[in-house]
């Protein structure tokens, strides 16, 4: 039994990666009742950790208040006033390395995530790739806590607990009288994004059914695209830049299914116990980023031999045609969705 009672946890980005830490943190606290956590991350992600017992969230704005090396030193000085028994670095990037080294000088026990970079290089190289499943990222997070002495078991299944819609949300969404489908068609990198003209085919097909489609995104360009779709398809409602993160999570909890890329939409739905039909292009779930509790049988992907060529989808397509995405027929996506929203 570990003597560690208070853990300082750091993970700054990206949204999907931070979301993947949540089920691990919940399991750790549920299985270790005397433990408490102080979690440091960006302000935008605070809603992920609402109502978790014995968890204190510190919102650190790294672009403003704690920018650059001087900002990290400032953050360290503020954090070190707390009494921690160990530091868990779930990020292992330059900022977190500086922080943990500063804490090491004060004698604090620490551990950091092993991202399996060498294995992922073998998975993504071409030719000669080693196409085999790697450890799922949530288990890599859990391994870190096991390293500092905790017993931790992850169940890897979805637990759906719909949150009641507020009057403010109902004014936007309407009451739920049909099946609700979420679509998160965007990602940070092109290698993850299903061609938008084909995604529109999916939306057009779904629009002929008695369902409601909610469109999710973030940037101004994504907002413009989703507003255009909303104008063309009467069953589609754009939610881009209309909700707080907490409201978005509440809405997602009411969905029957989410359609997402290998991106944050998949992980936000996983937090709410909602099944996801996920589309994978240049990336592959073997790298360990399938949403927590999601099923491989709900993945839509092409088996082109050069895939995956990237862990994060950020490398240009060496074929120049993104065949891994264009080879996916919209009908195959509809077929996967039909398992959750059967036609009446």
Mean pLDDT of the chain, nearest integer: 97
Q: 235: which 2 tokens?
A: 């069953």
Reported as a single tens digit per residue, the pLDDT across 214-227 is 999 999 999 999 99
Residue 49 pLDDT grade (very low, low, confident, very high; cuts 50, 70, 90): very high
Reported as a single tens digit per residue, the pLDDT across 174-200 is 999 999 999 999 999 999 999 999 999
Q: 92: which 2 tokens?
A: 């292992």
CB 298 within 8 A of CB 275: yes
Work out the percent of the chain whose per-residue pLDDT is above 90.
Answer: 98
User: Does the pLDDT of residue 344 top 80, yes or no?
Assistant: no
CB 137 within 8 A of CB 289: yes
CB 285 within 8 A of CB 267: no
Task: Calculate mean pLDDT across residues 236-256.
Answer: 98
Task: Calculate mean pLDDT across residues 40-57.
Answer: 98
Nearest to 214 by CA among 281, 288, 272, 159: 272
User: Does the pLDDT of residue 1 top 70, yes or no?
Assistant: no
CA separation for the pair 6, 183 (Å, rounded): 39
Phi, psi dihedral angles at 299 (to 5 degrees): -85, 135
Task: Calculate mean pLDDT across residues 264-278.
Answer: 98
Task: Calculate mean pLDDT across residues 229-234.
Answer: 98
Confidence (pLDDT) at 3: 83
Task: Calculate mean pLDDT across residues 310-323.
Answer: 96
Task: Calculate mean pLDDT across residues 259-274.
Answer: 98
User: Does the pLDDT of residue 2 top 80, yes or no?
Assistant: no
Reported as a single tens digit per residue, the pLDDT across 72-109 is 999 999 999 999 999 999 999 999 999 999 999 999 99
Work out the percent of the chain whose per-residue pLDDT is above 70.
Answer: 99
Residue 278 pLDDT grade (very low, low, confident, very high; cuts 50, 70, 90): very high
CB 71 within 8 A of CB 90: no
Reported as a single tens digit per residue, the pLDDT across 122-179 is 999 999 999 999 999 999 999 999 999 999 999 999 999 899 999 999 999 999 999 9
Confidence (pLDDT) at 225: 98
CB 270 within 8 A of CB 292: yes
CA separation for the pair 202, 55 (Å, rounded): 41
* In the block, residue with structure tokens 């949540």: 22
Confidence (pLDDT) at 343: 85
Residue 121 pLDDT grade (very low, low, confident, very high; cuts 50, 70, 90): very high
Q: How many CB atoms lie within 10 A of CB 61?
A: 13
Confidence (pLDDT) at 125: 96
Domains and CATH numbers, the chain: 6-147 (3.40.50.2000), 167-337 (3.40.50.2000)
Exposed/middle/buried for residue 43 (C-beta within 10 Å: 0-12, 13-18, 19+) = middle
């Amino acid at each position: 039994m570990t003597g560690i009672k208070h853990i300082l946890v750091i993970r700054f980005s990206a949204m999907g990666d931070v979301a993947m830490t949540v089920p691990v943190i919940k399991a750790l606290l549920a299985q270790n009742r005397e433990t408490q956590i102080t979690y440091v991350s960006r302000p935008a992600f605070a809603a992920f950790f609402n109502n978790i017992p014995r968890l204190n969230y510190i919102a650190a704005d790294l672009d403003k208040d704690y920018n650059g090396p001087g900002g990290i030193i400032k953050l360290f000085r503020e954090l070190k006033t707390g009494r921690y028994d160990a530091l868990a670095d779930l990020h292992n990037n330059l900022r977190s390395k500086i922080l943990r080294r500063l804490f090491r000088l004060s004698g604090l026990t620490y551990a950091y995530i092993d991202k399996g970079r060498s294995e992922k290089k073998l998975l993504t190289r071409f030719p000669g790739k080693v196409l085999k499943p790697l450890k799922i990222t949530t288990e890599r997070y859990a391994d870190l806590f096991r390293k500092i002495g905790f017993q931790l078991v992850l169940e890897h299944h979805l637990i759906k607990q719909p949150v009641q819609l507020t009057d403010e949300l109902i004014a936007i969404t309407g009451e739920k009288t049909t099946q609700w489908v979420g679509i998160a068609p965007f990602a940070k990198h092109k290698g993850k994004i299903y061609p938008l003209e084909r995604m529109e085919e999916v939306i057009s097909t779904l629009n002929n059914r008695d369902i409601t489609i909610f469109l999710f995104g973030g940037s101004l360009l994504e907002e413009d695209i989703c507003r255009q779709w909303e104008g063309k398809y009467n069953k589609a409602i754009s939610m881009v830049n209309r909700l707080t993160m907490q409201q978005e999570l509440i809405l997602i909890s009411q969905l029957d299914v989410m359609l997402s890329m290998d991106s944050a939409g998949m992980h936000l739905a996983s937090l709410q116990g909602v099944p996801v039909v996920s589309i994978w292009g240049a990336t592959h779930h073997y790298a360990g980023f399938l949403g927590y509790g999601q099923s491989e049988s709900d993945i839509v992907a092409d088996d082109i031999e050069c895939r995956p060529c990237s862990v994060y989808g950020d490398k240009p397509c060496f074929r120049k045609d993104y065949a891994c995405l264009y080879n996916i027929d919209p009908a195959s996506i509809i077929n996967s969705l039909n398992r959750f929203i059967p036609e009446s």
